[in-house]
A and B are shown apart, each in its own frame.
Chain A
Amino acid sequence: MTYVKEGVVTIVQESRFQLTDDNGVSHLFLLDRNAAAEPAQLAPLQARQARVRVTYEPARNLIGLVARSVRLLPPSQAR
């Protein structure tokens, strides 16, 4: 089951990042090994405070979410 979250990338460490959504709630993501993004692409997102849409699945036995894709949202959709 895949879910979607939108928000701003606020912390990046290796392949893990924190996404803060519009309610100010932060979520810990791990970039999946087959994700449509490379860990090296995360740091620039954090630096730009860009809005992104993350599709993810819950992780088993981890308090974290497994990101399947991270997509930059076009500026028009940004608030």
Chain B
Amino acid sequence: MTATISPEAAPATRDGPEDAPRVPRQATEPPSVHGRPNRAGWTGPTYYGRPQLKASPFENPVVGGYIFLAGLSGSAAVIAALADLRQGAEAAPLVRRGRYLALLAPILGAPLLVYDLHTPERFYNMLRVAKHTSPMSIGTWILMGFSGAAGLTAAAQFGADLRPGTRGLRGLARAAQVPAALTGLGLSTYTASLLSATSTPLWAAAPQSLAMRFGASSMASAAVALAMTEADPSRRRALEGTAAAALAAELAGAAISHATYRRTGVAGALSGKAGRVEHLGATLLGTALPLGILAASLLTRRGLPRPVTALAAVATLAGAAALRISIMAAGDRSAEDPDVSFRFSQPENLPAR
């Protein structure tokens, strides 16, 4: 008995492929070598210009959004704990807002991750193993630990706010904020490892500087988000100082990244729309501009007017989100463009042994 094609089994329709290999962008156009500039990419043979790698099946705004929220929450927990440990009751409003901001990752971020699974009802299978070779597994456990600790901290804070007299709750919040801050450090930055521990050329090319950028961007976004709503001028200054330091580190990370991309030949992946978002949106408007504003604010004795620093805060937050989403999109492009992936997989790019 042989399998026959049933009449209902419709052939290719105008709706496009359902479960086919992603139709390569290059397949419809001639390979980019014949007479076209090559941006230091691969100039040797390719297989009909077809992708050599598969791009991640992630939905970039969803996973990029999670990376942004995870960084924001993780760093918010870190800053809240630091402010509490250093200034105690004086910094109470800031600490409260930081502890509540840390809930974004468990409440909004985790559902985004589950949504991005192709079989979401099996999300709990992530919890059956712990693997140090998989940043997604490491991240699962960081997120679980963070959610527990940050949730407990926020719950205790909420209880203490409702019944200010209860001493135990305040102590509980102060105890729980320590593991929340420690896992928050990981949550702020592990997402860079998640991208780098793949074969996608743009993500794999610069694992260290990408982690620098993501980590610094997380600290910057949490600091500006908390500064925007801080009433006390001295604490606002401390937060703006933190943000400025983080933005400077992010800018340094961006410079190292771009130099590494050029050296390893993957810079071509940033020549498209995602690259423009990364250059203009994330680096220029989202990092350099707010860094300038915050530095100016810190250098003037009384600081710049709050609408101006609020602009820097909004630019930082938007830039942080744009950074994550544009790096993901440009990474997908680097995987699908054989001129980038073949250039990257040359022996000269092998790590020194």
Residues of A at the B interface (CB closer than 8 Å) are 3, 10, 18, 20, 24-28, 30, 33, 58-65
B4–A61 touching, CB < 8 Å? no
Confirm or deny: B1 has a beta carbon within 8 angstroms of a beta carbon on chain A.
Answer: yes
**Given A60-B15, A62-B19, A18 and B10 touching (CB < 8 A)?**
no
Contacting residues, chain A, for B16 (C-beta < 8 A): 60-61
Contacting residues, chain A, for B12 (C-beta < 8 A): 60-61
Choice from A26, A27, A28, A61 contacting B13 with Cβ under 8 Å: A61
A33–B118 touching, CB < 8 Å? yes
How far, in whole Å, are A63 and B118 apart by their CA atoms in the complex?
Answer: 22
How far, in whole Å, are A24 and B19 apart by their CA atoms in the complex?
Answer: 27
Contacting residues, chain A, for B18 (C-beta < 8 A): 59-62
Residues of B at the A interface (CB closer than 8 Å) are 1-6, 8-13, 15-20, 118-119
**Given A33-B118, A33-B119, A58-B10, A63 and B1 touching (CB < 8 A)?**
no
Choice from A24, A27, A30, A60 contacting B10 with Cβ under 8 Å: A60
B20–A62 touching, CB < 8 Å? yes
Q: Is the interface of B mostly helix, strand, loop or mixed?
A: loop
Contacting residues, chain A, for B8 (C-beta < 8 A): 3, 58, 65
Q: Which residue of A lies closest to B5 (CB)?
A: A63
B9–A18 touching, CB < 8 Å? no
- The 3 residue pairs across chains A and B that have the minimum distance between CB atoms: A60-B18, A61-B17, A26-B3
B19–A25 touching, CB < 8 Å? no
Choice from A10, A27, A60, A62 contacting B6 with Cβ under 8 Å: A27
B1–A59 touching, CB < 8 Å? no
Min CB gap A6→B, angstroms = 13
Min CB gap B200→A, angstroms = 24
**Given A20-B1, A25-B4, A63 and B9 touching (CB < 8 A)?**
yes
Min CB gap B14→A, angstroms = 9
Min CB gap A15→B, angstroms = 10
How far, in whole Å, are A31 and B3 apart by their CA atoms in the complex?
Answer: 17
Contacting residues, chain B, for A58 (C-beta < 8 A): 8-10
Choice from B3, B13, B118 contacting A60 with Cβ under 8 Å: B13
Q: Which residue of A lies closest to B2 (CB)?
A: A26
Choice from A20, A28, A61 contacting B20 with Cβ under 8 Å: A61
Q: Which residue of B lies closest to A62 (CB)?
A: B19
Min CB gap B117→A, angstroms = 10
How far, in whole Å, are A63 and B282 apart by their CA atoms in the complex?
Answer: 44
A65–B9 touching, CB < 8 Å? yes
B9–A24 touching, CB < 8 Å? no
Min CB gap A2→B, angstroms = 11
Choice from B5, B6, B19, B118 contacting A61 with Cβ under 8 Å: B19
Q: Which residue of B lies closest to A18 (CB)?
A: B3
A24–B1 touching, CB < 8 Å? yes
Q: Which residue of A lies closest to B3 (CB)?
A: A26
Contacting residues, chain B, for A18 (C-beta < 8 A): 3
A60–B17 touching, CB < 8 Å? yes
